[in-house]
Structure 1
Amino acid sequence: MSVAIIKKRTSAAKRAPANASNGSRDLLMVNSVAKAFRVLRVFDCSRPSLSLSEIAEIAGLDVSATQRFTHTLLKLGYLEKDAASRRFGLTVKVLELGQSYASANPLVKQAIPYLLHLNKDTEETINLTVLDETSIVFIVRFLSRHVFNTDVVIGTRLPAYCTAPGRAILSRLPSDEAEAIVSSSDLRPLTAHTPRTVADVMGRVARAAAKGYALQVEECFYGDMSVSAAVIDGRGRPVGAINIGVATTRYTPQEMEVRFAPMVVAAARSVSDISL
């Protein structure tokens, strides 16, 4: 082999990514953007304001990089800084991202009339949720005057495996796909009624598939019951779920199931019949 060819191959090897052969490096990934989102995501209800060092520690970044990201996000209007405490917090501008999602989402547009109708007819809390990895996310919520849990708002995430909307969605997925999601979930006991094994959850998913709706009683919060049915797209895939939530002090599980299950199934079927 000639020296020229050897040099050419050596030069090419130096230019190639170190782990290109195993495909583990995403060449299109902009790491600085990912880190900026890590900074934004450190804030929540338990951490509404944080110092620079706290942000760095939680986000897993060094202080110098965190300073650059927080400065950029301040300039863009997504973070604010208290002059006295020098602590950072999110601004209302962050809500623009959620509003853009909701206004552009065809599921939201098509479901809202049916959700409003359910809310008026039942006088109970009505939600529209979608599955994101192992969680459900609330994207529309109409409250009842009997509302039980005021901590659940638009954007709230709850485990799919122990919620009625989550199991309604899982029940319309291929069983191996649903089981993979459940197996990846953190099956921790949120209440004494939370299912704790994959087999238990999958049994409840199977019952939801047979009935056409899912039911949960105090699995995520004490005093809370919910019945839910999945919304299906034109390919037969679940794209979300509609649920009715009530307090255990107002109905027995049997009363709730008899009264509300047919209504939530009809609403979900009506939204599913619209082209998504």
Structure 2
Amino acid sequence: MARKSVKVTADGNEAAGEDRDPLLVQSVEKAFRVLRAFDGTRPNLSLSQIADEAGLDMSAAQRFTHTLTKLGYLDKDADTRRFELTVKSLDFGYHYTRASSLVERGMPYLLHLSKETEETVNLTVLDGTDIVFVSRFMSRHVLNNDVITGTRLPAYCTAPGIAILSFLPEEDAYGVLERSHLHPYTPHTTWEMDALREKLKKSAGRGYATAFEEYFHGDLSVAAPVLDANGKPYGAINIAVSRSRYTPEETEQRFSALVTAAARSISMAGGARR
């Protein structure tokens, strides 16, 4: 996914002229920039690569990597002098899942759906223009091994993303679409703005969303939003199945009522009322 470029001065600070938050602790923000430089395509990085990815000069990058290494979040190979994340970085995800009321309330319903359908069941939330998987029960008919808890996918071409967007106020939903990098991942991707707006209206009307091979080939998904007490979506539950085992029509007919009921139950468990 595209990274936001950061203009910096020689001392590693953001360039003047940009909007500044007087309460923002810039050193903390820069430390997280360093941590976010690592991902599946860049599991280990040199100091110069970190500086480039984080928008820091070499001196600042050296200070931040040294500090994060001392704190146990980075490890430096003595021979290659390259850095990588340590297992301690998982603490953030662990504490989120333990503290999340959505995950806590959703777990029994996810487990029930998983046992009843024997298909992959996910709980996701919207973050920016992406959905993030916060809980996942895998099917024995394994789909997409590379999707794990914490994985991000574009909201506009996933069933959970469309389900969430369809229950947001139009201005908010369209704002997410406008900020997204809209393009077709597969020949089946709905990605043009007019078509996406129509899809949101359709999904809002029936209470669930579908995505058939829009991001992954062979992946069919049905999702419904989880709503808060004001009827605002703050998550979605979905069932994903393989195109080799179901047609899109069979998927929608068999699973739409199940995910809608589960999402409604989670919403009600949180005191939500439509």
Could you say which residue in structure 1 is the equivalent of 2:88? 93
1:73-113 CA distance string (max 9 Å, x none): 00000000111111100001011011111101100000000
| 1:60-209 matches, cutoff 5 A | 60-209=55-204
Query: Which residue, 41, 45, 50 being the options, matches 2:40?
Result: 45
In the alignment, the residues of structure 2 paired with residue 223 and residue 110 of structure 1 have an alpha-carbon distance, to the nearest angstrom, of 30
Could you say which residue in structure 2 is the equivalent of 1:275? 270
In the alignment, the residues of structure 1 paired with residue 19 and residue 73 of structure 2 have an alpha-carbon distance, to the nearest angstrom, of 32
Q: Is the 8 A contact 1:168 1:230 kept in 2?
A: yes
Percent identical: 59
Where 1:168 maps in the other structure, the secondary structure is: helix
State the shift of 1:210 in Å: 1.0
Where 2:259 maps in the other structure, the secondary structure is: helix
Query: Which residue, 200, 203, 211 being the options, matches 1:216?
Result: 211
Could you say which residue in structure 2 is the equivalent of 1:226? 221
Q: CA RMSD in A?
A: 1.2
In the alignment, the residues of structure 1 paired with residue 59 and residue 262 of structure 2 have an alpha-carbon distance, to the nearest angstrom, of 52
Could you say which residue in structure 1 is the equivalent of 2:239? 244
1:109-157 CA distance string (max 9 Å, x none): 0000000000000000000000001110000000001111011111111
Q: What stretches of structure 2 of length at least 5 have no aligned partner? A: 1-15
1:175-197 CA distance string (max 9 Å, x none): 12111111111002111111221
Could you say which residue in structure 2 is the equivalent of 1:8? none
In the alignment, the residues of structure 1 paired with residue 145 and residue 229 of structure 2 have an alpha-carbon distance, to the nearest angstrom, of 34
Richer in helix (by share) = 1
- 1:36 equivalenced with 2:14 (yes/no): no
Of structures 1 and 2, the larger Rg is shown by: 1
Q: Is the 8 A contact 1:124 1:143 kept in 2?
A: yes
State the shift of 1:275 in Å: 2.3
1:46-77 CA distance string (max 9 Å, x none): 10001111111111111110000000000000
In the alignment, the residues of structure 2 paired with residue 120 and residue 256 of structure 1 have an alpha-carbon distance, to the nearest angstrom, of 17
How many residue pairs match? The answer is 256
* TM-score, normalised with respect to structure 2: 0.91
Could you say which residue in structure 2 is the equivalent of 1:5? none
Q: Which amino acid aligns with 1:228?
A: A
Q: Is the 8 A contact 1:187 1:195 kept in 2?
A: no
In the alignment, the residues of structure 1 paired with residue 191 and residue 202 of structure 2 have an alpha-carbon distance, to the nearest angstrom, of 17
